[in-house]
């Protein structure tokens, strides 16, 4: 049984392009895990970027509208992302398969973002991509320079690393060229991903402009209270059934059926008892959702809204009356506070709309079986709450991963996803046998303490002595594989104790003790380093102050 892995002292930089747009500090709407990697080892070598073959029109794994996602494009991104994950200790095939699905979905979103930008009239030229790529190059070179030179001056921090003589000289001494590094960075940052980052920033600019356009009239109108009646049809019983029921009720309401009566008979929330009556305002909109509030603000008195779709289900609303309720103290401070609230709401609402469009599954076609499996698992997750939809998508995912695995048994990610889908379909025995083959067969190709634990659980469920003996072997394999996973070792300590394996439980306890001691030692080192840095900063500030005081005193003496 191995002890915890010692903490590495190697010089290592991971430069990760984490593309995000955030509005204020409380809202983030998109993230792309497209990673670029710098590894600076003892001999300071930059590995060459993967050499990919030329793409063909047929080599497309997915299409988002007119935007293709090619196999080589994905493979290039995945090579970087998986290497990054491995460097940070992700060695489980199951975890890598989940991560691969995530990267695929994020790349689909990236393509969708580009498509939405074009539909919205956002023009992104090649020169814009070149300029953004140059920003990325400079930022990653700065990280590299910091690692190579260590401490740098404030003047150097302002300097483009490509013009930093000290940095260029140090690279040259070690047989490296700045041009080689620049080309490496370019190869690691796909132009399509950079284009998506620009699109995200431009959408952010548009949303900020909308928020900044809040007027005094908007501020006053935000104090309007809308007296409504609402009917809510939850979609938990199935999206299609809920939609059809909402359409039917809407037609009855338009035909003149008493709205309060319809609410009492059909609404699926607590307000049905009083005929759906509710005072909807800026401050209470969260109860029904922004979609309902926005629709109501556009209604005329006495009118009925079309069916409004929300994340929870479907609403039909009738506006009965309005009343403006300004606060007693409606001064500049109150107006400024409400203005900021309105701006935040606009940013949040617009961001949510864009996020929904990005999460929309329309216009996406997936051609490769493995990635189609990832897509169906995503659709199953999107259909949570609708059991029929979830089951249908999970079965489609199962068929896709089965086909992908049989077509290429060396595809480890497809293999573990096949096992996962078999379990979800209730085919536990089939899943267990396949997992046993994947972990212990002649051409064993998957790994991970989590998979060893999963197989051990299956073997124990069989109940016979031989299976229990095999399960123990898997627990021991899990212990060896869980290099830095204290959670696995804690589970194993409990399992070995319950199995009466006191010696094995003691080894796990020793591992946990050693790991905790290492972590405490690491924390102490970091705290000491922080304290030293703070002390040095205070000493510098004190010295600077003393120097300034001395200068003032000398000036005063001269006077």
Q: How far apart are CA 185 and CA 450, in angstroms?
A: 35
**CB neighbours of 345 closer than 8 A, spacing ≥ 6?**
282, 290
Q: How far apart are CA 480 and CA 529, in angstroms?
A: 33
* Whether pLDDT at 407 is above 70: yes
Three-class SS of residue 73? helix
**CB neighbours of 128 closer than 8 A, spacing ≥ 6?**
198
Listing DSSP states for 446-487 in one string gives ---HHHHHHHHHHHHHH-SHHHHHHHHHHHHHHHHH-SS-HH
* Whether pLDDT at 108 is above 60: yes
Mean pLDDT for the chain?
86
Rounded average pLDDT over 330-348? 94
Rounded average pLDDT over 387-401? 93
Rounded average pLDDT over 401-417? 95
**CB neighbours of 501 closer than 8 A, spacing ≥ 6?**
472
Rounded average pLDDT over 297-315? 93
* pTM, to two decimals: 0.74
Residue 411: phi and psi, rounded to 5, are -80, 90
Beta-bridged to residue 323, according to DSSP, are 225
More confident site: 442 or 127: 127
* Whether pLDDT at 13 is above 70: no
**What pLDDT does residue 358 have?**
87
Query: Domains plus CATH for the chain?
Result: 16-212 (no CATH), 224-325 (3.10.50.40), 448-559 (1.25.40)
Residue 536: phi and psi, rounded to 5, are -65, -40
Note the pLDDT tens digit of each residue in 140-184: 999 999 888 888 888 888 899 999 999 999 999 988 889 998 988
Q: How far apart are CA 82 and CA 233, in angstroms?
A: 44
Residue 112: phi and psi, rounded to 5, are -65, -35
**What pLDDT does residue 383 have?**
75
Structure tokens at 132: 């953004």
* Whether pLDDT at 398 is above 80: yes
**What pLDDT does residue 18 have?**
32
**What pLDDT does residue 24 have?**
28
| Percentage with pLDDT > 90 across the chain | 67
**What pLDDT does residue 385 have?**
66
Q: How far apart are CA 511 and CA 273, in angstroms?
A: 61
Beta-bridged to residue 308, according to DSSP, are 315
**What pLDDT does residue 4 have?**
44
> Taking a C-beta distance cutoff of 8 angstroms, is the pair 505, 497 a contact?
yes
Q: How far apart are CA 31 and CA 22, in angstroms?
A: 10
Q: How far apart are CA 23 and CA 344, in angstroms?
A: 8
Give, as one character, the DSSP assignment of residue 48: P
* Whether pLDDT at 186 is above 50: yes
Rounded average pLDDT over 230-253? 90
Return the ∠ at Cα 119 (arms to 116 and 120), rounded to 5°. Answer: 85
* Whether pLDDT at 200 is above 70: yes
Cα–Cα nearest to 122, from 113, 134, 110, 131: 113
* Whether pLDDT at 101 is above 80: yes
* Whether pLDDT at 87 is above 80: yes
Burial status of residue 231 (CB atoms within 10 A of its CB: 0-12, 13-18, 19 or more)? buried
* Whether pLDDT at 39 is above 70: no
**What pLDDT does residue 12 have?**
24
């Amino acid at each position: 049984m191995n002890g915890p892995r010692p903490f590495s002292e190697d010089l290592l930089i991971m430069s990760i392009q984490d593309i995000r747009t955030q509005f204020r500090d409380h809202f983030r709407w998109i993230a792309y895990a497209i990673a670029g990697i710098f590894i600076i080892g003892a001999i300071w070598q930059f590995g060459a970027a993967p050499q990919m073959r030329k793409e063909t029109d047929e080599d497309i794994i997915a299409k988002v509208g007119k935007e293709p996602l090619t196999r080589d494009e994905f493979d290039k991104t995945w090579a970087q992302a998986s290497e990054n994950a491995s460097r940070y200790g992700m060695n489980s095939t199951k975890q890598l398969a989940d991560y691969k699905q995530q990267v695929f979905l994020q790349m689909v979103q990236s393509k969708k973002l580009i498509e939405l930008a074009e539909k919205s009239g956002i023009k992104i030229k090649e020169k814009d991509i070149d300029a953004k790529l140059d920003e990325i190059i400079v930022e990653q070179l700065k990280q590299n320079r910091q690692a190579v030179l260590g401490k740098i001056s404030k003047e150097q921090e302002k300097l483009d690393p490509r013009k930093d003589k000290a940095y260029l000289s140090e690279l040259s001494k070690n047989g490296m060229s700045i041009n080689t590094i620049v080309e490496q960075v370019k190869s690691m940052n796909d132009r399509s991903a950079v284009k998506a980052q620009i699109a995200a920033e431009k959408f952010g600019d548009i949303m900020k402009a909308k928020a900044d356009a809040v007027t005094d009239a908007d501020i006053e109108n935000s104090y309007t209270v809308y007296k409504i009646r609402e009917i809510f049809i939850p979609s938990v019983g199935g999206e299609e059934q809920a939609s059809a029921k909402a359409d039917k009720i809407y037609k009855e309401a338009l035909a003149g059926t008493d709205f309060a009566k319809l609410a009492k008979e059909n609404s699926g929330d607590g307000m049905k008892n009083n005929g759906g009556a509710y005072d909807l305002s800026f401050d209470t909109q969260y109860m029904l959702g922004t979609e309902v509030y926005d629709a109501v603000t556009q209604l005329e008195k006495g009118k009925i809204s079309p069916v409004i779709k929300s994340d929870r289900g479907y609403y039909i609303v009738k506006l009965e009356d309005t009343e403006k309720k300004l606060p007693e103290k409606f001064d500049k401070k109150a107006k400024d506070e409400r203005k900021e609230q309105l701006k935040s709401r606009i940013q949040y609402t617009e961001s949510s709309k864009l996020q929904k469009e990005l999460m929309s599954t329309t216009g996406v076609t997936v051609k490769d079986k493995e990635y189609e499996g990832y897509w169906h698992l995503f659709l199953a997750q999107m259909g949570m709450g609708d059991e029929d939809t979830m089951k249908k998508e999970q079965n489609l995912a199962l068929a896709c991963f089965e086909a992908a695995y049989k077509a290429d048994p060396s595809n480890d990610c497809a293999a573990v996803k096949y096992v996962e889908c078999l379990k979800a379909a209730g085919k536990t025995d089939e899943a267990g046998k396949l997992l046993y083959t994947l972990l212990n067969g002649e051409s064993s190709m998957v790994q991970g303490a989590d998979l060893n634990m999963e197989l051990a659980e299956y073997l124990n469920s069989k109940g016979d002595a031989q299976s229990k003996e095999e399960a123990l072997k898997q627990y021991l394999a899990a212990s060896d594989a869980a290099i830095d996973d204290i959670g696995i070792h804690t589970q194993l300590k409990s399992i070995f104790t319950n199995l009466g394996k006191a010696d094995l439980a003691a080894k796990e306890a020793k591992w946990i003790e050693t790991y905790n001691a290492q972590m405490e030692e690491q924390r102490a080192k970091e705290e000491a380093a922080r304290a030293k840095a703070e002390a040095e900063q205070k000493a510098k500030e004190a010295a600077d102050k003393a120097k300034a005081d001395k200068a003032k005193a000398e000036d005063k003496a001269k006077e």
